[in-house]
Amino acid sequence: MSISDFSSQLMQIVVVFLPFLLGIILHEIAHGLMALKCGDPTARMLGRLTLNPLPHIDPAGLGCFVFTSLFTPFVFGWAKPVPVNPRYFRNYRRDMLLVSAAGPLCNFLLALFMGLCLRLFLLLAPDPFILHSSAGNFLLQMLLSGISANLVLAWFNLLPIPPLDGGHILECLLPFRMAQKFAGMGRIGFVVLLALLAVGGLNHVLLPLVKVSYKAVLGFAGVL
């Protein structure tokens, strides 16, 4: 690999990593803030309601991100889950549903925000020289990556597989006995996710959702 190829690959990782890191941090903060609103101060007491990335970074999740960004079409990674103590909740099923939904909702809103930032950037920098400059191209690619990264995070976490947010949401919506049986699947849920990732199954589920919502965000922002 030449130096130019290495630099290009490194830049590609940076362009994807920075908005992805912001997305997973805000995702976890959203969980913590909603839990706090529902009466659980655990995340605040443990210092997890911060934009400082260090308390949020999971080494295994970070390593998975680097690997998938280099070798697979689907970027995958995670942060340390924000601790939630449901004993503080006044209404367990309602409050757990709200806490679980807060993370993916935050990622959808962040994707929309980056779409609007992209629109603003294109309005303020119509000059082709600015758009094709190193700084302009870097910002453009960062915003586009930010939109797609947050949509991937949102849809991935909405998969109805425990321990993902979608699994918790479905558990809160199921009748009590069915919810108990479904919650027991959490022991193998992570193994199922890794198996789907290894065989490319996640691509078939997530990529169509990401593509449709990506176009919707750009259309909403007036870019398309």
Mean pLDDT (whole number) for 36-55? 94
Domain spans in the chain, listed from the N-terminal domain onward: 3-220
How many of the other CB atoms lie within 10 Å of CB of 102?
22
Half-sphere exposure of residue 169, counting CA atoms within 13 Å on the CB side?
Answer: 17
Residue 146, amino acid: G
Residues 181-187: contacts with CB under 8 Å, at least 24 apart: 185/161, 186/162
Mean pLDDT (whole number) for 177-206? 80
For the purposes of burial, counting CB atoms within 10 Å of the CB of 93, is it exposed (0-12), middle (13-18) or buried (19 or more)?
middle
pLDDT at 175: 92
pLDDT at 34: 98
Residue 103 sits at the vertex; the CA angle it makes with 183 and 213, to the nearest 5 degrees, is: 105
pLDDT band at 75 (very low <50, low <70, confident <90, very high): confident
Partners of 79 in the β-ladder: 57
pLDDT at 128: 62
Residue 47: φ, ψ to 5° = 70, 30
The yes-or-no answer on residue 28 being catalytic is yes
pLDDT at 64: 80
Cis, bond preceding 163 (omega within 30 deg of 0): yes
Mean pLDDT (whole number) for 166-188? 88
From the candidates 28, 95, 165, 171, give the one annotated as an active-site residue. 28
Q: How far apart are CA 108 and CA 122, in angstroms?
A: 21
Would you say 27 and 157 are in contact if contact means Cβ atoms under 8 Å apart?
yes
pLDDT band at 3 (very low <50, low <70, confident <90, very high): low
Each residue's pLDDT tens digit, 199-214: 777 788 888 999 999 9
Q: Which of 89, 80, 147, 73 is nearest to 114 (CA)?
A: 147
Residue 68 has pLDDT above 90, yes or no: no
Alpha-carbon dihedral angle through residues 182, 165, 94, 185, given to the nearest 10 degrees: 10
pLDDT band at 126 (very low <50, low <70, confident <90, very high): low
Residue 74, amino acid: F
pLDDT band at 129 (very low <50, low <70, confident <90, very high): low
